[in-house]
Structure 1
């Protein structure tokens, strides 16, 4: 049996690309198509990849790019967006992932990035590295026959049919407006837009190519599929920079003929169920996480976002994987934070992954305290901490990576 000691972690080279692709296809159970390979290489430059090598064979991989992510208060932060994490099934349980992640996070620290984020394929692996679920999403199915809007619900209109080619610039512009409003949403690089507009075959999952609806302040991308003799509209992406655009797009999506149901993912504060006469027409089919986050630099991360209430407290943060922990004085006035190391006694004690869970506003501190994830030395301090971290808008993932 090969031990972790025989494996070397190093920067990847262009010659490693075929082996990296084969490892990822094995790990994630898919095949890259020719229509996405070049775009994938542009999005994830090989010079950002790290590989674990055993006797010349690539047996592990991770990579990242620097992302611009919106945080509460419509501010932005630079973050390491990690992707493609895979270890060969022949080399499990040998510490290779830890070696890769150690090198990955050393590089992120060297780059001075306060946050690391990724979309996880498994939920039980990354807590020990200081990560937690930072954004949640809800998959829904809407019974088209029961989806009637309340008489008081306005009809803003303004939606038109379009093609990807003719609406590309509008889609990018609207996405940018939406992204700057929404905690957790990332700016989308050109290579990722290339994948969207290429409408990659592998991403269709047996459905049609993309249909497009546009509104001056929004757009919806959807596919048609047929399952068990039922006709389904599958909403791939709906982005609206205004509530009027959101409502107008949903009115059209729920009025398409020859459709039995509409499938989509929505945020926790999406008003859609409340717009209908029968809220049960919107049925939750899955509740899950869409983004994980780890705070790399506590003062830098906490001073990058805004807060809802004033706060003056001391946090004891334990970091089991890196050295970002310590005792920190966090003071907030008028939404603006100051944070620095301190020798004052802590009022709240927790592992660093708790900050990842709270950072974008998806979770409440009081709930994590009830789950024994936060040790409370001062009860009023917990209440103030909980209120300060709440957000006016629930976070959403901008694009999957």
Structure 2
């Protein structure tokens, strides 16, 4: 059956609203979410329009049994930014990739992702990004896991105490700031401002889509598609009473003997703000345990008197990157040692296939295509994992994801490895 492939622009006032609503219902159906009504579907469309997003879909042909406004496959994308450690770089953000179980194994996802990547490359995006629900799918499209996040459970009973903040000078002067509880709906200007400031200085961070306002204010829960009336929030103020951090959370309720507080979003611009927010959370009544996602190198364990109060329960990938332009991507990230290496890239979609000469001198990098034989070889998905430095060259070499001359591998490691551990605090 020949399907009808279309790209919808929610900013187009001439679009049939029922078709846009059908697309939203098709996407939410793919993630087993509750059926959205017209008002909720229209909200989705407005948020996508605010992000200049495009909504790809495949529909059954008109007149065929089951045809209607809901597509059998979906994909959405919009322009965003990723912090590579050297600055903010344009990236095509991809989400809502779904295929109806009735149309599986017909190449729909391959076609739509391929079309999307081709459009992104033509538009000059050096990178594409997504987050995944299934880790075994997207390497074949050239995406590699680039950031990870740790899930922690923190025992905030009497055992919990912060022994000393990282900034001892501020602690000795007694200027470690304070927290103020606020309704999440009133916090949005602070949440937006603090995140934007954090995003500009945090390797691995990606810009947030317009729908984050609904999430941060409790207007909608993604899984239930309903407002969240249990969401609470607090802002951390620095020594001069300027916001430098925030936290949003829900609580299991006072009847639960465990007393579990779940952090839904927390961003801090300094170690003092981070520890101040943790002390605040630990002081909330009827709370025995706090769960949260943190950076893999989070310092809380080293700041508390009993490190066993901080238990890591999971380490998950979050941001996956796909390189579309090798020179633009590699020149946008930091480098840590001088050297030259010929890197061969295998890309079955053809965007980056070939051998690339990477030369670093005094932290400046030059990347050019060459016909010379490669000294190291990697799939483009491996290159995506290397962009942010979330994995070392040595790790990729010993696991076989990067192969080649041992001397060249060590040289590439001396050039590429280093810098901050990348961390992304944005789901999309």
The alignment status of 1:129 with 2:141, answered yes or no, reads: yes
- Equivalent-residue separation in structure 2 for 1:209 and 1:288 (angstroms): 24
Compared with structure 1, are the counterparts of its residues 234 and 49 closer, same or farther at alpha carbon in structure 2 (3 Å cutoff)?
A: same
State the SS of the aligned residue for 1:51.
strand
TM-score when normalising by structure 2 = 0.86
Q: Secondary structure at the match of 1:329?
A: strand
SS at match of 1:218: strand
Alignment of 1:232-311 (within 5 A): 232-311=260-339
Asked if 1:184 is matched to 2:204, the reply is yes
Matches within 5 A, 1:206-245: 208-215=230-237, 216-226=243-253, 229-245=257-273
Q: 1:372 aligns with which of 400, 403, 407?
A: 400
1:7 pairs with 2:20: no
| Contact 1:213–1:220 (CA under 8 A) maintained in structure 2 | yes
SS at match of 2:350: coil
**Is 2:60 the counterpart of 1:54?**
yes
4+ residue stretches of structure 1 with deviation over 6 A? Answer: 204-207
**Comparing 87-96 with 196-205, which one deviates more in the overlay?**
196-205
Q: Distance in 2 between matches of 1:47 and 1:269?
A: 33
Q: CA deviation at 1:333?
A: 2.2
Contact kept? 1:36, 1:200, Cα under 8 Å = no
Cα deviation 1:152-188 (Å, max 9, x = unaligned): 7665232222233443322222111110111121223
| Residue 217 of structure 2, aligned match among 197, 201, 213 | 197
Counterpart CA distance in 1 for 2:85 and 2:339 is 16
CA separation of 1:270 and 1:151: change in aligned 2, threshold 3 A = closer
Following superposition, the deviation at residue 335 of structure 1 comes to 2.3
The answer to whether residue 29 in structure 2 is matched with residue 26 in structure 1 is yes
Instruction: State the match for 1:118 in structure 2.
Output: 130
Say whether the 8 Å CA contact 1:307–1:390 is kept in structure 2. yes
CA distance in structure 2 between the partners assigned to 1:168 and 1:243 by the alignment: 22
| CA 237–195 in structure 1, closer or farther in 2 if over 3 Å, else same | closer
Structure 2 gap ranges (5+): 10-14, 238-242
Say which is worse superposed, 332-341 or 294-303, in terms of deviation.
Answer: 332-341
> C-alpha displacement at 1:85, in angstroms?
0.4
Question: Where does residue 43 of structure 1 map in the other structure?
Answer: 47
Aligned to 1:149: 162
**CA RMSD for the aligned pairs?**
2.3
The answer to whether the 8 A contact 2:378-2:403 is kept is: yes
Q: Distance in 1 between matches of 2:178 and 2:249?
A: 18
Give the count of matched residue pairs.
395
CA distance in 1, matches of 2:401, 2:138: 16
Distance 1:295 1:111 in 2: 14
